[in-house]
Amino acid sequence: MKAMVLRETSPIEKEPLKMEEWPEPVPRFKEILIQVTVCGICHTELDEIEGRLSPKLPMIPGHQVIGKVVEAGPMVRRFKKGDRVGVAWIYSACGKCDFCQEGEENLCSEFKGTGCDAEGGYAEYMVVSEDYAYSIPQRFSDSEAAPLLCAGAIGYRDLRLAKIKKGQTIGLFGFGASAHLVIQVAKYWGMEVFVFTRGEGHQKLAQRLGASWVGKPDEVPPKKLHSAIDFTPVGETIPLALKVLERGGRLVIAVIRKRNPVPPLDYAQLLWDEKEIKSVANLTRRDAQEFLHLAAEIPILPEVQEFKLEEANQALYLLKQGRIQGSAVLRISKSL
């Protein structure tokens, strides 16, 4: 099978992903073999490729995978050949530790990330346990569904952790793949949304999707935020968000790694008054399942740009530059 493979971490500008011929994986026990139709691209892949995370090497990245089941292992019960399925960032967890038992499998020390600790979807085929695959609501095309699996599902987790109530004001810092889906959920839940982003295209998209106020990250909004989610890859946003946070407010940091250090935080100015900072690690299967259901009910309309599999380096470069509007996916084979 064809796959875009990472053999050595390096800046995306050097086009480190190379097209290779790999043997088609064979599904064992509870695994299903998926013929991939599309795979979304994500900032976390930039973190892997550029070495801020440590993927197993060589690696086939990609953790927003849509495709159809073409073969099933002997113990598979939930899916059959021809079913459309999705795979998200959670590839597996141990299922036995205290975290797993409490439904916090995202914190499991044996958590495996798709396309990081196990081969992902930048390829014609991949295997995954049926326990970690999802049925995809009919109303979404493959391209529309892919970004729901990370940008959407982790965005939903961010929003849940933001502990917001109806009618409150939430601030979104950065307006990429995740935020443009989160705003649609936040509006549906009756929140007022302020968006802080530099890019003109991103600002326009935020306005079109119903932001009540749009400004740059260092601008002061018309009122304080009950909560905020920081989607940006830079450290400077954290003090800026804390500055405009209401007393008792919570800042949720939605990224796995920041590209540069967080500046010193002045306790009296930025943290006192019971302000909280909470990071988000990974996601659970429950997040993905609940979000797919909610996304179909709202319905969420993802903005999607398609690239070819062999254009993965270029698509990720555009993502790094902030030049993708909404989400981007790699088209790997024709949808049914």
Binding site for Zn ion (CB under 5 A): 42, 44, 93-94, 97, 100, 108, 150
**Smallest distance, Zn ion to C-beta of residue 187, A:** 23
**Smallest distance, Zn ion to C-beta of residue 203, A:** 23
The residue (of 150 and 179) whose beta carbon lies closer to Zn ion is 150
**Smallest distance, Zn ion to C-beta of residue 76, A:** 22
Q: What is the C-alpha to C-alpha distance for residues 157 and 243, in angstroms, rounded to an integer?
A: 23
**Smallest distance, Zn ion to C-beta of residue 154, A:** 7
**Smallest distance, Zn ion to C-beta of residue 38, A:** 14
- 290: DSSP letter: H
The SS3 call for residue 137 is coil
Q: What are phi and psi of 201, to 5 degrees?
A: -60, -40
Q: What is the C-alpha to C-alpha distance for residues 230 and 205, in angstroms, rounded to an integer?
A: 18
How far, rounded to the nearest angstrom, does the alpha carbon of residue 308 sit from its chain's CA centroid?
Answer: 20
**Smallest distance, Zn ion to C-beta of residue 146, A:** 11
The residue (of 63 and 84) whose beta carbon lies closer to Zn ion is 63
The residue (of 215 and 326) whose beta carbon lies closer to Zn ion is 326
Report which of 118, 119, 127, 120 is spatially closest to residue 93, judged by C-alpha positions.
118
How far, rounded to the nearest angstrom, does the alpha carbon of residue 211 sit from its chain's CA centroid?
Answer: 21
The residue (of 43 and 250) whose beta carbon lies closer to Zn ion is 43
Token readout for 298 is 């709202």
CB 288 within 8 A of CB 149: yes
Asked whether the CA dihedral 44, 49, 55, 57 is positive or negative, the reply is positive
The residue (of 148 and 228) whose beta carbon lies closer to Zn ion is 148
CB 102 within 8 A of CB 94: no
The residue (of 63 and 226) whose beta carbon lies closer to Zn ion is 63
DSSP H or E segment with residue 65: strand 65-72
